[in-house]
Amino acid sequence: MSVIQITQKILRFLKSAFSDQGQPSSARILSAWLSVSSMALIWFIVRHVFYVDDREKLITWVGGLPAIIYALAAFAVSPFGIGKIAGIWDKQKRKRKDSD
């Protein structure tokens, strides 16, 4: 395989990963960006903890880390989840219109 073919396959994959039924999906793009930025923030926090000398500060940072990770995970997937929930209501409205 040539470099051009591999590049085309990667681009097709990315296009399909960030689209929903052939249409670009802003929720997927936002979720991807929020995931990357959340991972960067978690990495920064963990790196910061390695250089903390005060035991009390260390306990506070390490104790709060799971809650920070859960909150950032919820924050990262919220655009995609809201889009899916909104889609459920749209389907119900279409079914009502079709039955009338």
* pLDDT at residue 99 is higher than 80: no
Residue-range domain boundaries for the chain? 3-99
Band of residue 91 on the pLDDT scale cut at 50, 70, 90: low
Average pLDDT, the chain: 83
Paired residues of 24 in beta bridges? 19
Band of residue 97 on the pLDDT scale cut at 50, 70, 90: low
Distance CA 72, CA 1 (A): 39
Distance CA 42, CA 14 (A): 25
DSSP 5-69: HHHHHHHHHHHHHTEETTEE-HHHHHHHHHHHHHHHHHHHHHHHHHT---HHHHHHHHHHHHHHH
The answer to whether 61 touches 50, Cβ cutoff 8 Å, is no
pLDDT digits (tens, 9 = 90+) for 28-73: 788 888 888 888 988 998 898 889 889 998 888 888 889 988 988 8
For the residues 69-94, what does the mean pLDDT come to? 78
pLDDT at 77: 81
Distance CA 38, CA 75 (A): 9
